[in-house]
């Protein structure tokens, strides 16, 4: 018997809440929860979202950046504008005042496009990017780890000193090795699984605060 996707969504509290509140996906509550716990959007004006489809994290990033323009209008680190870019291999419906690029994060020209857009002043990188799962947990885990290394290496080049990275990873055999390498790049690191993540999922989010 075929699975009725509507019935599944109808029973998903986060899906229904997102639809009611005008967000594009239930994943919005993952980043909200991470922010409430680790304050990742504090003084974040220039934000990059990797794996941004369908755009719910971009929606939150824009909300927070606009708030920050008013909240942090002081003599410390502040700006008179925000810049947000989203990158995904899938098409993403445009959002006003946000630059969206349909591209693979590993493409050769993407680093230059990011640097040119943010002018070396990138405050926060969000990544909910995920490989296309094949159903084999071991293979999927290793492929996700490879993607995480690609993003971490890119972060070393484009994220400003003391910037923040939120990165989705998969738990498994190579997780500890990757997390140890992740820790080398930040003064403060945490791993966290939001309540909005599905219970059966092996996803976990790594939070790097104050890039070295």
Please tell me the total number of residues recorded for the chain in this structure.
212
CA 177 to chain centre: 21
pLDDT at res. 2: 41
Residue keyed to tokens 């909240």: 71
CB 125 within 8 A of CB 166: yes
Pairing of strands 186-192, 203-211: antiparallel
Exposure letters 161-171 (e unless 16+ CB within 10 A, then b):
eebbbbbbbbb
User: What pLDDT tens digit does each residue of the chain (212 aa) get?
Assistant: 343 443 344 558 888 999 899 899 999 999 999 999 999 999 999 999 999 999 999 999 999 999 999 999 988 898 999 999 999 999 999 999 999 999 999 898 999 999 999 998 999 999 999 998 888 889 999 999 999 999 999 999 999 999 999 999 999 999 999 999 999 999 999 999 999 998 889 999 999 999 99
pLDDT at res. 11: 54
pLDDT at res. 199: 84
pLDDT at res. 15: 85
The answer to whether the Cα torsion of 184, 37, 124, 41 is positive or negative is: negative
pLDDT at res. 8: 41
Q: What is the 3-state secondary structure (H, E, C) of 24-43?
A: CCCCHHHHHHHHHHHCCCCC
83: enclosing H helix or E strand: strand 83-88
CATH topology of domain 27-211: Rossmann fold (3.40.50)
pLDDT at res. 198: 86
Active site residue 11: no
Catalytic residue among 30, 62, 168, 211: 168
Read off the pTM: 0.92
Tell me which residue of 102, 104, 99 sits closest to 46, measured CA to CA. Answer: 99
CA atoms of 51 and 62, how far apart (whole Å):
16
């Amino acid at each position: 018997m075929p699975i009725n996707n509507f019935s599944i969504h109808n029973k998903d509290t986060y899906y229904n809440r997102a639809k009611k509140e005008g967000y594009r996906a239930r994943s919005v509550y993952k980043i909200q929860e991470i922010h409430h716990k680790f304050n990742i959007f504090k003084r974040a004006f220039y934000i990059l979202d990797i794996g941004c489809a369908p755009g719910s994290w971009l929606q939150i990033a824009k909300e927070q950046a606009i708030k920050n323009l008013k909240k942090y209008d002081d003599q410390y680190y502040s700006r008179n504008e925000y810049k947000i870019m989203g990158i995904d291999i899938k098409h993403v419906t445009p959002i006003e005042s946000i630059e969206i690029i349909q591209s693979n994060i590993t493409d050769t020209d993407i680093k230059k496009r990011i640097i040119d857009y943010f002018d070396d002043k990138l405050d926060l990188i969000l990544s909910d990017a995920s490989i296309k799962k094949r159903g084999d947990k071991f293979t999927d885990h290793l492929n996700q780890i490879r993607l995480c290394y690609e993003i971490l290496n890119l972060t070393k080049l484009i994220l400003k000193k003391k910037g923040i990275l939120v990165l989705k990873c998969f738990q498994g055999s190579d997780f500890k090795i990757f997390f140890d390498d992740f820790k080398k790049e930040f003064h403060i690191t945490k791993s966290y699984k939001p309540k909005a993540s599905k219970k059966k999922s092996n996803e976990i989010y790594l939070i790097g605060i104050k890039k070295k």
